[in-house]
Amino acid sequence: MNKPPFSVSVVVPVYNEEENVPTLTQRLHDSLSSIGRPYEIILVDDGSRDASWARLREAAGRHPHFRLIRFRRNFGQTAAMAAGIDSARNDVIITLDADLQNDPADIPRLLEEMEKNDYAVVSGWRKDRKDPLINRRLPSMLANGLISNITGVRLHDYGCTLKAYRRDVLQSIRLYGEMHRFIPALCSWTGGQIAEVEVRHHPRVAGKSKYGISRTFRVVLDLLTVKFLLRFTGGPMQLFGKIAFVFGGLGALMLLVVLGDRLFAGGIQEHLYLVKRPFWVITPFMLIGFCLQFISMGLLAEVQTRTYHESQDKRIYAVRETFESPSA
């Protein structure tokens, strides 16, 4: 039997994009209204300080199937994306940026690839990227290689926001920090297949980029968290325990050397190692102390992991107001 076509929820974080909102919303309407399937367009105003919310309200009044969420303050792109995903109602969730560098006309291409091969995630690849080489494309290439190697999920373009996800795959993923760019890697933990398709990329013609070096540092730190979640969430003691055994083994080995030398070396004066060679007595006890410390950290991480899995209802954003198109 032929499956019914996927229903679609499009999630777009918006922050200080008043100049781009009219064109963005028109292109979203044009692209989604022609796909012949149920859809909704969720735009999340991430505490914009310009007239973005007013422009979004105007667009929702002109076009059907628009749903708007407005934050009380700026919580960041990951929080905006999480809010949109939490409120999405349809089978497939598609994310893209509001700066018009992602093309809404590519949405059907992602859906076609997902339906044809039953993928859990289809990620956009900005192969012909229209950004400056030195301060955007080169750091992005290095970051993509680093993320691919550390997570084991190899994609050309982790930074491309234009991606399609099955809703059931996203339900088990909680976002915080700068985690939105790692969603494909987190989805791999559920066993879903991930594909990549080439998408168009346009130069920014209005507004300012929100990317900065401080965000790069946060991404690197969150990458370490993702690596831990992918490999050790099921048992963090496996990580901390291995480190503990290394320190404990070295400490025990050094104590054995000292004890053997003390018992079998003749003519050694009492307390020689404490007075003449304190390194050989102090260091093994320090290493054993490190061993006990990492075991304690492992136990605490196990407790935290259970808390993470059993109570995940805390949101990372605060909603000020919502609005829907009259016909939505």
pLDDT-derived band at 218, boundaries 50, 70, 90 = low
What pLDDT is stored for residue 207 in this prediction?
61
Per-residue CA distances from 305 to 38, 112, 142 (Å): 38, 37, 31
pLDDT in tens, 59-114: 999 999 999 999 999 988 888 998 999 999 999 999 999 989 999 999 999 999 99
How many CA atoms within 13 Å lie on the side-chain side of 112? 9
> Can you tell me the distance from the alpha carbon of 161 to that of 148, in angstroms, rounded to the nearest whole number?
16
Taking alpha carbons only, the member of 83, 102, 95, 88 closest to residue 44 is 83
pLDDT in tens, 277-312: 677 777 888 888 888 888 787 777 766 765 665 565
Name, in order, each residue with C-beta under 8 angstroms of 232's C-beta and a sequence gap of 6 or more. Answer: 238, 239
> Can you tell me the distance from the alpha carbon of 284 to that of 254, in angstroms, rounded to the nearest whole number?
6
pLDDT in tens, 107-162: 999 999 998 888 999 999 888 887 766 666 677 777 777 777 777 788 888 888 89
Strands (E) in the chain, as ranges, are 8-14, 39-45, 66-71, 92-95, 121-125, 163-166, 194-198, 319-324
